[in-house]
């Protein structure tokens, strides 16, 4: 892993990996959409609205997974000062925010026909909303500090403090009485979902994970280019200043 | 078209929202990358033009 710490090696490695990831993502989404609409039967209680789950649940999983990636990258940055760790954390934040927003919107669209309300201040919904605000906070904090190294350390600390939200989201449906249903896939004793609905959900979940990996890798490559541009500009300004400072012969 | 029952609007809205968010992320990554590559290429070509040519040593 350490050999990819060099940004140039990472750029070469990711350029090779990217077409495969894009291809896998497209194929998995095509397969996932097919099984979601043509193979999965309507649920005996929720009817056709169960198809909302094939987008909502993977989005919600990714919202948490992406925060996990940011927290891990932040830890690696603070402890080992890995050159790509901050690039990874910075690139993942907008993607995580987008998937959290998608989880909130699709949950709301599922809640209206099932609960009769788009929104309720229940523990699961509220904790996911806090996660969304945390993402926004990470992006805003980074933009508010001009010094790149200081911004990286501050956002890393905030990201690590914010990890407390992950177990709260996961166990909110067990710790409090919520309108949101308890975990039915990732639970002790195995999934409570029928296999005819579980498999389409898992295919869509893998498609979403591949999409995240593709977007994250592409955003990391962009961030490396952004830093290379900034370094080139600084070098040019320094060279011009040194040239002007030379005494005229 | 599929018959998605009385709540079809909510199902289509869900997939529409997903398409918008995912499409937005893909567009952002592609356009950002393209703009950055163009800027870097311009900076590098400017750098090559401005690089001073080494003076020939004539022994004076």
Q: What is the pLDDT of residues A115-165, one digit of tens each?
A: 899 999 989 999 999 999 999 999 999 999 999 999 999 999 999 999 999
Q: What is the pTM of this model?
A: 0.89
Bridge partners, residue A43, by sequence: A47
Average pLDDT over residues B44-54: 69
> Among A105, A218, A228, whose Cβ lies nearest the Cβ of B29?
A218
Answer whether residue A24 is part of any domain: no
Query: Please, which pLDDT band fits residue B57 given cuts at 50, 70 and 90?
Result: low
What's the pLDDT score for residue A124?
A: 92
Answer whether residue A27 is part of any domain: no
Here the ipTM equals 0.89
Q: How high is the mean pLDDT of chain A?
A: 91
Distances in Å between the Cα of B7 and the Cα atoms of A41, A124, B10, B34 are 15, 24, 6, 41
B18 interfaces chain A, CB cutoff of 8 Å: yes
Q: Best interface-test mutation with A: which of B18, B24, B44 has the largest number of A CBs within 10 A? A: B18
What's the pLDDT score for residue A239?
A: 84
Sign of the torsion formed by the C-alpha atoms of A111, A115, A120 and A125: negative
Domain count, chain A: 1
Answer whether residue A8 is part of any domain: no
Interface contact flag, A42 B5, Cβ < 8 Å? yes
What's the pLDDT score for residue A135?
A: 98
Interface contact flag, B8 A232, Cβ < 8 Å? no
CA angle in degrees (0–180, nearest 5) for A208-A129-A29: 10
A219 interfaces chain B, CB cutoff of 8 Å: yes
Answer whether residue A16 is part of any domain: no
What's the pLDDT score for residue A240?
A: 85
Q: Using CA atoms, how far apart are residues A204 and A223, in angstroms rounded to an integer?
A: 28
**A110 CA to chain B: closest CA distance, Å?**
7
What's the pLDDT score for residue B56?
A: 54
Answer whether residue A37 is part of any domain: no
pLDDT (tens digit per residue) in A172-220: 888 887 777 777 767 667 777 788 889 999 999 999 999 999 999 999 9
- Residues with Cβ within 8 Å of A173's Cβ and at least 6 positions away in sequence, in order, are A123, A124, A180, A181, A182, A183
CA angle in degrees (0–180, nearest 5) for B25-B27-A19: 90
Average pLDDT over residues A46-75: 95
Any alpha helices (H) in chain A, and if so which ranges? 7-34, 53-80, 85-115, 123-144, 148-162, 165-175, 195-245
- Looking at beta carbons, which residues of chain B come within 8 Å of A96? none
B19 interfaces chain A, CB cutoff of 8 Å: no
Answer whether residue A43 is part of any domain: no
Interface contact flag, A229 B43, Cβ < 8 Å? yes
**A38 CA to chain B: closest CA distance, Å?**
9
Answer whether residue A197 is part of any domain: yes
What's the pLDDT score for residue A7?
A: 82
Domain span at residue A201? 51-181+191-232
Answer whether residue A109 is part of any domain: yes
């Amino acid at each position: 892993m350490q050999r990819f710490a060099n940004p140039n090696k990472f750029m070469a490695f990711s350029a090779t990996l990217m077409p495969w990831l894009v291809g896998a993502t497209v194929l998995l989404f095509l397969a996932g959409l097919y099984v979601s609409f043509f193979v999965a039967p309507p649920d005996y209680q929720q009817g056709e609205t169960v198809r909302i789950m094939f987008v909502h649940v993977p989005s919600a999983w990714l919202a948490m997974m992406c925060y996990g990636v940011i927290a891990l990258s932040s830890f690696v940055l603070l402890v080992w000062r890995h050159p790509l760790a901050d690039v990874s954390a910075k690139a993942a934040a907008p993607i995580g925010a987008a998937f959290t927003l998608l989880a909130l919107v699709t949950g709301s669209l599922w809640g209206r026909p099932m609960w009769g309300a788009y929104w309720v201040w229940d523990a699961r919904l509220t904790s996911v909303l806090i996660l969304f605000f945390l993402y926004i906070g990470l992006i805003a904090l980074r933009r508010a500090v001009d010094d790149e190294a200081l911004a990286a350390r501050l956002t890393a600390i905030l990201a690590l403090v914010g990890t407390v939200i992950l177990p709260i989201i996961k166990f909110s449906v067990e710790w409090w009485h919520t309108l949101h249903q308890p975990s039915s896939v990732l639970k002790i004793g195995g999934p409570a979902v029928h296999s005819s609905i579980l498999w389409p959900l898992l295919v869509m979940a893998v498609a979403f994970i591949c999409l995240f990996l593709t977007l994250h890798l592409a955003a990391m490559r962009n961030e490396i280019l952004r830093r290379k541009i900034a370094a080139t500009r600084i070098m040019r300004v320094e060279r011009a200043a040194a040239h002007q400072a030379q005494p005229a012969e | 078209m599929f018959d998605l029952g009385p709540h079809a609007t909510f199902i289509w809205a869900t997939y529409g929202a997903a398409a918008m968010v995912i499409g937005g992320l893909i567009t952002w990554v592609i356009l950002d990358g393209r703009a950055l590559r163009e800027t870097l290429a311009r900076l590098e070509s400017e750098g090559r033009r401005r690089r001073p040519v080494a003076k020939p040593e004539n022994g004076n």
